[in-house]
Amino acid sequence: MDKKYLYLFSEGNGSMREILGGKGANLAEMMNLGMPVPYGFTVTTEACNKYYDDGEKIADEVVAEIFAYLEKLESLAGKKFGDPHNPLLVSVRSGARASMPGMMDTILNLGMNDDVVKGVAELTNNPRFAWDSYRRFIQMFADVVMGLPKSRFEEIIDEMKARKHVTMDTELDAEDMKEMTLRFKAFYKESLKEDFPSDAKDQLIRAVEAVFRSWNNPRAEFYRRMNDIPSSWGTAVNVQMMVFGNMGNDCGTGVAFTRNPSTGEKKLYGEFLMNAQGEDVVAGIRTPQHIDQLKELSPQAYAQFVDICGKLEAHYKDMQDMEFTIEKGKLYMLQTRNGKRTAAAALKIACDMVDEGTLSKEEALMKVEPKQLDALLHPQFDAADLKAATPIAKGLPASPGAACGKVVFTAEQAQQEAALGHKVILVRLETSPEDIEGMHVSEGILTVRGGMTSHAAVVARGMGACCVAGCGDLNMNEEEGYFEVNGVRYTADDFISIDGSTGNVYAGAIKTVPASISGDFERFMKWADETRKLKVRTNADTPKDALQALSFGAEGIGLVRTEHMFFEGDRIKAMREMIVSKTTEQRKRALAKLLPMQRSDFEGIYEAMQGFPVTIRYLDPPLHEFLPTSSYDIANLAADMHIDLDDLKAVIASLHEFNPMMGHRGCRLAISYPEIAEMQTTAVIEAAINVAKKHPEWHLTPEIMIPLVGDVNELRFVKNIVVKVADELIAKAGIDMKYLVGTMIEIPRAALLADEIAEEAEFFSFGTNDLTQMTFGFSRDDAGSFLNDYYDKKIYEQDPFAKFDQHGVGKLVANAAKLGRATREDIHLGVCGEHGGDPASIEFFHKVGLDYVSCSPFRVPIARLAAAQAAIKNK
């Protein structure tokens, strides 16, 4: 049998997301549940993938199947495509496996042409509706299929409103709509040198192709990269009989959530507009009414809707985000999906659903996206400062958080300012999907128009960015780049603060305070801790970072990068002296200056970690990173060291390396200059002894980590130094102290020979940053400059430095773990590269049986949850 590329909604079900996409599968499921869903069919994701495999061409067999299904739809609907006397009109909407709100395209009212519009006018006795539907179709088709700018159409509408002295679309009459339709068509023809297509089947195929194409539009690609969605998934296309919310005042359309997506409160939450079509609500062009008001305007439809909401939530065991339309008092469901929500709402809903008996704790743990927790870990407004501040305006609290920054008026400005390191608040009349990259780099988003379900609100919530929407108090002039409130003008030079939890907008910057884990968050994280197998440590170089990580639940430090302490104040001087030393004696003198600093740093870290394990890594980076570069600094160093300026310059020149990342760094430094390892061992062990004397109950066991080992002999050489110095110090102190010596596995050769290395190493920590760099042969500092080409050409979809390459580098890690354990059964295995905080990577580390991951303090809660999810998924 030929491959099946199409399914009627009645042929599908909720478990078929992979081929029907989320929207198609859920429409089928709702239909199976007996809910009022307009008839339709889904063109599968496989048809989309075929379209790309065939060189962006829709295959004849798919076209034939679409026409066959169209006939089935016609007979179900009792209407005919393109028939003016009984026309079928359809919507064409994208629907990928994972929901990607607003990223791809939708076309409504397809099937309209000059004859059909007249038929619709007669049949409905509502010419205004007929022409309104037609002009909307032209607008959407022109934009989505032909790529004409939306703005020209908006201008024509604005010109019409101005001429008629009205402000709302609903105040335009049938003749106005007709005139606009004709002008739209004229603009279409003038721009594209062809007539607007009148054949309904032609319209349909071109629309399906456009939806397939939209899978690869830049904003969809960006969204996919942000959300780890592979391009190989493709999108499905849903073709559905139109029902009309714009047919009169007993019609309407809306979107609703079964719970509040911002706070998680268990209360139906949504918005609708009477006499409107879907995009009017989400585009934020008219400010919609609250769902409660529907009770008065359309009581029957409201009651049925409330009933359906309850059923859907119970069925999916999750908060639902639904779209509906009311046509002449009758309710239709157009979509349901698990709703996007803020992190705070996600936690509240998860905890509430466990309390309500809907979810088990494990099910609840799977409902929260680990990366989302990040939004809860960042500063909030200082309560006192906030109280003292007076809001200048108030909008809708669309996505919580505290944000302050410089005002910017376009997504491009946001990107430019952010690239300069400035914090910005993106202020727009309304946002559109094209703004996504600018929104991503902004601290917060403030819009003048639009409701809680507007594009800005939905996208901001998805990103965890703070957003205040629909702030009509702002008198905005986007072109000239300012807004006014109460007669005061704010331009791109001003700072503002916005509070996404209250909707308040303030002039100036308000002080912020760090976040803490409490309430639902704390309860939820406890469940995660009970479930996970992986331990979670942190990468921290200072007591401050260590304390931060501890408050976020870290169970130790997996990596102290000792060199980071050498950049500050006077230390850099001693460090530079050490580096430019010509003799061992000189170098030892400089190291002696560094010893007390390093010892006290380690004491601080041991104290902060209160007995949790701490892994200290020895000096790693190329030495030239510490050298002065400006002639002023070089002259100062020469004077400080009482050496000749030219001599110093010669030393600096001699330290030049062509490829420093592969140069004199890591354990190679200790091999050339054993006194560095001696000093660092002295600092580690003396610090541990000092702290152990105060806190014997902590049983401190220093973990000493040797970086960049590629051969067991390298490790053996450095370990001998460590053991000699450490044993002497411990014996002298008369204390019973154990310590461990281990290594990083970050050179492919080490991973291949891990069985030999484990003879000396008591633990391995996978340095996946260097391991990725050296396995790919991509410089970690330079890859950013060409990776975009790799994404464009579909060679790689993800930055391997951010998302662990399980396929390639993963083989090395899995193999090294196995080899390490074969030599030393109880060898402790962890990872301390950046990937230790990335959820998908964490799942891999769980699967290959590592003992812990170590990540930056702010990613510790994310890693705790990701580790729990990995344990649940791989039971």
Looking at residues 757 to 786 of the shown chain, list those that interact with Mg ion (rule: CB under 5 A).
767, 770
Which of ligand PEP, Mg ion, none sits in contact with 372, Cβ below 5 to 8 A by type? Answer: none
Closer to ligand PEP by Cβ: residue 69 or 766:
766
Looking at residues 111 to 150 of the shown chain, list those that interact with ligand PEP (rule: CB under 6 A).
none
Which of Mg ion, ligand PEP, none sits in contact with 768, Cβ below 5 to 8 A by type? Answer: ligand PEP
Q: Is 857 in the site for Mg ion (CB under 5 A)?
A: no
540-569 footprint of ligand PEP as x/- string (CB under 6 A): -------------------x-x--------
Closer to ligand PEP by Cβ: residue 552 or 766:
766
Residue from 48, 251, 309, 832 carrying the catalytic annotation: 832
Closer to ligand PEP by Cβ: residue 84 or 663:
663
Closer to ligand PEP by Cβ: residue 291 or 745:
745
Which of Mg ion, ligand PEP, none sits in contact with 152, Cβ below 5 to 8 A by type? Answer: none
Q: Which of 414, 242, 43, 226 is nearest to 797 (CA)?
A: 226
Q: To the nearest whole angstrom, how small is the minimum distance from the Cβ of residue 708 to Mg ion? A: 7
Which of Mg ion, ligand PEP, none sits in contact with 812, Cβ below 5 to 8 A by type? Answer: none
DSSP string computed for 662-679: GSS-THHHHHH-HHHHHH
Candidates 753, 832, 848, 866; binder of ligand PEP (CB under 6 A) is 832
Q: To the nearest whole angstrom, how small is the minimum distance from the Cβ of residue 662 to Mg ion? A: 12
Contacts with ligand PEP by CB under 6 A: the residue count is: 10
Which DSSP state fits 517?
Answer: -
As a whole number of angstroms, the distance between CA 193 and CA 148 comes to: 12
Q: To the nearest whole angstrom, how small is the minimum distance from the Cβ of residue 707 to Mg ion? A: 6
Q: Is 841 in the site for ligand PEP (CB under 6 A)?
A: no
Q: To the nearest whole angstrom, how small is the minimum distance from the Cβ of residue 856 to ligand PEP? A: 11
Closer to Mg ion by Cβ: residue 770 or 834:
770
598-637 footprint of ligand PEP as x/- string (CB under 6 A): ----------------------x-----------------
Which DSSP state fits 698?
Answer: G
Per-residue CA distances from 399 to 343, 451, 499, 713 (Å): 10, 12, 9, 56
Q: To the nearest whole angstrom, how small is the minimum distance from the Cβ of residue 20 to ligand PEP? A: 41
The answer to whether 532 and 552 are in contact (CB under 8 A) is no
For 337, the 3-state DSSP assignment is: strand
What does residue 397 show for φ and ψ, rounded to 5 degrees? -75, 80
Q: To the nearest whole angstrom, how small is the minimum distance from the Cβ of residue 835 to Mg ion? A: 12
750-779 footprint of ligand PEP as x/- string (CB under 6 A): -----------------xxxx---------
Q: Which residue has the tokens 């394990």?
A: 613
- CA 865, 868, 869 angle in degrees (round to 5)? 90
Our measurement of the distance from residue 466's CA atom to the centroid of its chain's CA atoms, rounded to an integer in Å, reads 14
As given in the structure block, the two tokens for residue 389 are 């501040």
Residues linked to residue 235 through DSSP beta bridges, in sequence order? 96
Q: To the nearest whole angstrom, how small is the minimum distance from the Cβ of residue 620 to Mg ion? A: 6
**Closest residue to Mg ion, based on beta-carbon distance:** 770
Closer to ligand PEP by Cβ: residue 236 or 853:
853
As a whole number of angstroms, the distance between CA 336 and CA 27 comes to: 7
Catalytic annotation present for 832: yes
As given in the structure block, the two tokens for residue 611 are 């007995």
Angle between the N-to-C axes of helices 571-580 and 584-609, in degrees from 0 to 180, rounded to the nearest 10? 140
Looking at residues 719 to 748 of the shown chain, list those that interact with Mg ion (rule: CB under 5 A).
746
The answer to whether 844 and 804 are in contact (CB under 8 A) is yes
DSSP string computed for 159-219: HHHHHHT--SGGG--HHHHHHHHHHHHHHHHHHHSSPPP--HHHHHHHHHHHHHHHTTSHH
Q: To the nearest whole angstrom, how small is the minimum distance from the Cβ of residue 614 to ligand PEP? A: 15
The count of residues in the chain is: 875
Q: Is 833 in the site for ligand PEP (CB under 6 A)?
A: yes
Per-residue CA distances from 256 to 270, 281, 366, 632 (Å): 4, 11, 23, 64
Closer to ligand PEP by Cβ: residue 561 or 724:
561
Closer to ligand PEP by Cβ: residue 561 or 649:
561
Residue from 251, 309, 455, 471 carrying the catalytic annotation: 455
Rg (CA), the chain: 32
DSSP string computed for 2-19: PPP-EEEGGG--TT-HHH
Catalytic annotation present for 251: no
Contacts with Mg ion by CB under 5 A: the residue count is: 3
DSSP H or E run through 41: strand 40-43
Closer to Mg ion by Cβ: residue 169 or 770:
770
What does residue 612 show for φ and ψ, rounded to 5 degrees? -65, 150
Closer to ligand PEP by Cβ: residue 541 or 555:
541
Looking at residues 62 to 91 of the shown chain, list those that interact with ligand PEP (rule: CB under 6 A).
none
Q: To the nearest whole angstrom, how small is the minimum distance from the Cβ of residue 581 to Mg ion? A: 25
Which of Mg ion, ligand PEP, none sits in contact with 561, Cβ below 5 to 8 A by type? Answer: ligand PEP
Closer to Mg ion by Cβ: residue 396 or 747:
747
Torsion sign over Cα 289, 411, 341, 798: positive
Query: What are the start-end ranges of the E strands in 245-401?
Result: 252-257, 269-274, 289-290, 320-327, 330-338, 380-381, 393-394, 396-399
Torsion sign over Cα 298, 303, 308, 314: positive
Q: To the nearest whole angstrom, how small is the minimum distance from the Cβ of residue 533 to Mg ion? A: 26
Q: End-to-end CA distance of the chain, in Å?
A: 38
Q: To the nearest whole angstrom, how small is the minimum distance from the Cβ of residue 659 to ligand PEP? A: 15
Rounded to the nearest 5 percent, the helix, strand and coil shares of the chain are 50, 15, 35
Q: Is 22 in the site for ligand PEP (CB under 6 A)?
A: no
As a whole number of angstroms, the distance between CA 529 and CA 557 comes to: 17
Q: Is 746 in the site for ligand PEP (CB under 6 A)?
A: yes
Produce one character per residue of 388-418: b if its CB has 16 or more CB atoms within 10 Å, e if not: ebebbbbbbbbbbbbbbbbbbbbbebbbebb
Residues that bind ligand PEP (CB under 6 A): 559, 561, 620, 746, 767-770, 832-833
Q: Any idea which residues carry the catalytic annotation?
A: 455, 832
Q: Note the residues at the interface with Mg ion (CB under 5 A).
A: 746, 767, 770
